[in-house]
Amino acid sequence: MAGGVNSNFRLNISPTPLVIERGDGAYLYDADGNRLTDYYLGMGPMILGHKPQVIVEAVTSQIEKGILLAGQTAIEAEAARLVCEMVPCAERMRFGSSGSEVIQAALRLARAATGREKIVKFEGHYHGWFDNVLWSVAPPLDAAGPREAPVPFAGSKGQLSTTAEALAILPWNDLAALEKRLAVGDIAAVLMEAAMCNAGAIHPLPGYLEGVRDICTRTGTILIFDEVITGFRIAPGGAQEYFGVTPDLATFGKAIANGFPVAAIAGRADLMELCATGGVLHGGTYNAQPIAMAATVATLKSLTPALYDAIAGNGTRLMDGLRTIFASAGIPASVTGFPQVFHVAFGLDTPALDYRDLARMNRPAYVAFATALLERGVRVLERGAWFMSSEHDQGIVDETLAAAADAVGALRR
Ligand code: PLP
């Protein structure tokens, strides 16, 4: 395996990429026999924790009926019905296999619907690893250009440079910048994480999403929420339910199937139907794979109000506890986001409002903290994100806080 891993996001993890043998509940067990409390949660999907019995039973019984059938199945219809019931914008939907690919489908639909080509993308937002969206995801500030008009910054070598011409990169949480750019009239879609959760956890400013919705409606621009992280995680209907603003299209992944490779695109019927009768191609050999659909149904049915309440309570306890630990150690740090997914940024006295604020955080200090936590049996992402599951109960949260206090103490010694 190139670099010993199968995704670049598993590379360069301190002190070394781990070999994991199994997961159970809130815990991972590595090949050296260590038990780790897991806040990676598969990079976000495992909202029910590792190996939930309800999923194990659903997929085990489905596999007896066959593996890939290339026809419609009752289980995918049930999964689709649940998505349409839970997600406000979902008049129609389609399944895919990864967040990256359903975002491509959304962009294609928006271009077909508007006859325009350009997409607004915001600095610091991540929408998958494909050439046309991997721009200005984490640009160094000295190469990012002026804040109001960021210079597209490639996220990878080998990326087709001309794809940047089809993007307008803007600062997020800035309505005036969006209003000005959309007035030109050449934008097919505005693509955004409705709450920034990949690079850091930043809420939209009050009125921002409503303002974006209004400008998009006035200019005939398709509004796409990338809910690959927020979907089914911060609320049953994702960020659009949480903030009460309905996009034209939305993309989902991660928590939709608790670790099975499932993604979805959902939205307005007239837009989605372009796939069926409007000449827009959307395909995928593994779309709606029955075993993954069984996992989807089992996951979505498990997402009860009581489950969200429990995660919210324990997540809030963890966020508050971390704030207290950092404050009493004199470490400037912001702990922001949602109890189901939050972000810790060292070196920030006030919470970031956009990528440029966030980029000022002290990454090396946080990596040292994450490494010290790992030595104490707690696994957190080095980029600062913490994912919570229903399995992270009060006792586990309190153990984590004790480990965090000890890790902070060790760093200061
Ligand atoms: N969009 C967001 C907000 C994400 O966080 C991710 C992945 O982390 C993606 C899209 C891409 O999804 P996938 O990795 O399933 O292709």
pLDDT of residue 341: 98
Q: What is the pLDDT of residues 333-360, one digit of tens each?
A: 999 999 999 999 999 988 899 999 999 9
| pLDDT confidence tier of residue 72, bands split at 50, 70 and 90 | very high
pLDDT at position 238: 98
Give the position of tokens 């309800």.
Answer: 54
CA angle 94, 101, 67 (to 5 degrees): 65
Ligand 1 atom nearest the C-alpha of 198 is 5
pLDDT at 34: 96
Ligand 1 contact via 226 beta carbon (within 6 Å):
yes
pLDDT 10s digits, 189-238: 999 999 999 999 999 999 999 999 999 999 999 999 999 999 999 999 99
| Average pLDDT value for residue range 161-190 | 98
CA distance 358 to 168: 21
Crossing angle of the two packed helices 175-182 and 208-219, in degrees rounded to 10: 10
Q: For residue range 385-394, what is the model confidence (pLDDT) as tens digits?
A: 999 999 999 9
pLDDT (0 to 100) of residue 413:
78
pLDDT band at 12; cut points 50, 70, 90? confident
As a whole number, mean pLDDT of residues 270-275 equals 98
Sheet strands side by side (includes 167-170): 92-96, 263-267, 249-252, 222-226, 187-192, 118-122, 167-170
pLDDT confidence tier of residue 82, bands split at 50, 70 and 90: very high
Choosing from 40, 208, 254, 308, the catalytic residue is: 254
Residue 409 Cα to ligand 1 midpoint, Å, equals 35
User: Which residue ranges make up each domain of the chain?
Assistant: 2-52+304-412, 65-302
Catalytic annotation present for 126:
yes
Q: How confident is the model at residue 291 (pLDDT cuts 50, 70, 90)?
A: very high
User: What is the pLDDT of the chain when averaged over all its residues?
Assistant: 97
Residue nearest to atom 9 of ligand 1 (CA): 128
- Ligand 1 pocket, 198 CB below 6 A? yes
pTM summary value: 0.98
Ligand 1 centroid – CA 252 distance (Å): 9
Catalytic residue list contains 254: yes
- Centre of ligand 1 to C-alpha 102, Å, is 10
**pLDDT for 384 beyond 90:** yes
Looking at residue 274, its pLDDT comes to 98
The model's pLDDT over 16-37, given as tens digits with 9 standing for 90+, comes to 889 999 999 999 999 999 999 9
pLDDT at 151: 96
CB 98 less than 6 A from any atom of ligand 1: yes
* Annotated catalytic residue 38: no
Is the distance from CB of 44 to CB of 390 less than 8 angstroms?
no
Tell whether ligand 1 has an atom less than 6 A from the beta carbon of residue 264: no
Q: Whose CA is nearest to atom 12 of ligand 1?
A: 99
> Which pLDDT score, from 0 to 100, does residue 17 have?
85
pLDDT reported for residue 363 = 94
Record the tokens describing residue 211, joined without a space.
């303002």
Please report the atom of ligand 1 found closest to the CA of residue 103. 10
State if residue 231 touches ligand 1 by the CB under 6 angstroms criterion: no
List the catalytic residue out of 126, 208, 308, 366.
126
The whole-number average pLDDT for the span 255-284 is 97
CATH no., domain 65-302: 3.40.640.10
Structural contact between residues 36 and 265, judged by C-beta atoms closer than 8 angstroms: no
CATH architecture of 2-52+304-412: Alpha-Beta Complex (3.90)
Q: So what's the pLDDT on residue 226?
A: 98
Whether residue 14 is predicted with pLDDT greater than 80 in this model: the reply is no
Q: For residue 192, which of 257, 119, 286 has the smallest C-alpha distance?
A: 119
Q: Characterize 369-378 residue by residue with b for buried, 16 or more Cβ atoms within 10 angstroms of its Cβ, and e for exposed.
A: bbbbbbebeb
- Ligand 1 contact, 120 CB (< 6 A): no
Which atom of ligand 1 lies closest to the CA of 253? Answer: 15
The reply to whether ligand 1 has any atom less than 6 angstroms from the CB of 127 is yes
Residue found under tokens 């689709």: 80
CA 52 distance to own-chain centroid: 21
Q: Are 345 and 358 in contact (CB under 8 A)?
A: yes
Q: Which two tokens stand for residue 317?
A: 């306890």
Q: Which residue among 198, 202, 227, 252 is best mutated to probe the pocket of ligand 1, counting the most ligand atoms within 8 A of its Cβ? A: 198
| Statement: residue 382 has pLDDT above 80 | yes
Q: Is 228's C-beta closer than 6 angstroms to any atom of ligand 1?
A: yes
Average of per-residue pLDDT across 266-270: 98
Q: pLDDT at position 232, please?
A: 98
Cα separation, 161 vs 132, whole angstroms = 9
103 CA from centroid of ligand 1 (Å): 9
For residue 101, the ligand 1 atom closest to its alpha carbon is 16
pLDDT at position 172 over 80: yes
